[in-house]
Amino acid sequence: MIISLLNQKGGVGKTTLAVSLAGQLTQLGSRVLLIDADPQGSALDWAAAREGEPLFPVVGLPRPTVHKEIQGFVGDYDHIVIDGAPRVTDLARSVIMASDVVVIPVQPSPYDIWSAEEVVGLVNEGAIYKEKLKSCFVINRKIVNTAIGRDVKEALANYDLSILDVTVGQRVVFAEAVASGLVVSEVAPKSNAATEVKAFANELLKF
Number of domains in the chain: 1
Q: Using CA atoms, how far apart are residues 4 and 95, in angstroms rounded to an integer?
A: 7
Q: Using CA atoms, how far apart are residues 164 and 89, in angstroms rounded to an integer?
A: 25
DSSP category for residue 55: S
Q: Using CA atoms, how far apart are residues 137 and 105, in angstroms rounded to an integer?
A: 6
Q: Residue 142's pLDDT is what?
A: 86
Cα→Cα distances 151→5, 93, 120, 175, Å = 23, 30, 19, 26
Q: Among candidates 158, 144, 145, which has minimal Cα distance to 110?
A: 158
Q: Residue 145's pLDDT is what?
A: 66
Q: Residue 146's pLDDT is what?
A: 66
- Write the single-letter amino acid at 112: D
Q: Residue 101's pLDDT is what?
A: 97
Q: Residue 116's pLDDT is what?
A: 87
Domain residues for the domain of 70 are 2-205
Cα→Cα distances 142→64, 80, 128, 145, Å = 31, 26, 32, 9
For residue 42, give the CATH number of its domain.
Answer: 3.40.50.300
Q: Among candidates 97, 163, 165, 88, which has minimal Cα distance to 133?
A: 97
Regions of the chain short of the pLDDT cut 70:
145-150
Q: Among candidates 30, 48, 38, 32, which has minimal Cα distance to 5?
A: 38
Q: Using CA atoms, how far apart are residues 179 and 202, in angstroms rounded to an integer?
A: 25
